[in-house]
Amino acid sequence: MSNSPRFPPGQSMRSSRYAPPSQSSDPSHSPTLPAPSPVTIPRWPPPPPRPSTQDGPQRPQQSPPPQAITPLTQQEMTERAIELSERYGAQAESLQKQLEEKNSELDQAKQEKEKCEDKVKELEEALEESHEKTRKLQSLMPGWDDKDGKVIRHGSNIW
């Protein structure tokens, strides 16, 4: 006797596990499920009443409706200007000082730039003078071709 399970002929373990057992080929003997019972869905009770604003959390206040803009009188504008200058005066003074410092730094940078540009022009002029002197000296050297700036061979000597 072997340890493997016995299956009816023509069935394997897989087919016997998932397939319904074959009792008869008569459709009247096919297995049927019981008729489903009607399902009733419970109705939730209505939500409890909301607490009044005195008992519960406070709701944000609604802003009042916009009012028509009326022009200010000269007196009101003066008072408003004084109020704003008192409120923002110290901040404005601080910003004015910072602006003056930055302007001073900018002026210094501009002066430095001009000095550097002047120095570059001087160096370019000095370099051009140096090139001219070099050309004059080379023109005095024997065997120098002034047109091309090349040394001309004279025998075995190369200048």
The tens digit of pLDDT for each residue in 9-37 reads 665 555 555 555 555 555 555 566 667 66
On whether the CB atoms of residues 87 and 93 are closer than 8 A, the answer is: no
Distance from the Cα of residue 108 to its chain's centroid: 36
Q: How far apart are CA 158 and CA 149, in angstroms?
A: 13
Q: Tens of pLDDT along 67-94?
A: 777 787 888 889 988 888 888 888 888 8
Residue pair 151/145 in contact by the 8 Å Cβ criterion: yes
Q: Is the pLDDT of residue 155 over 80?
A: no
Could you tell me how many helices (H) and strands (E) the chain has, helices first? 2, 2
With a cut of 90, say whether residue 112 has pLDDT above it.
yes
Q: What is the pLDDT of residue 99?
A: 94
Mean pLDDT for the stretch of residues 89-105: 91
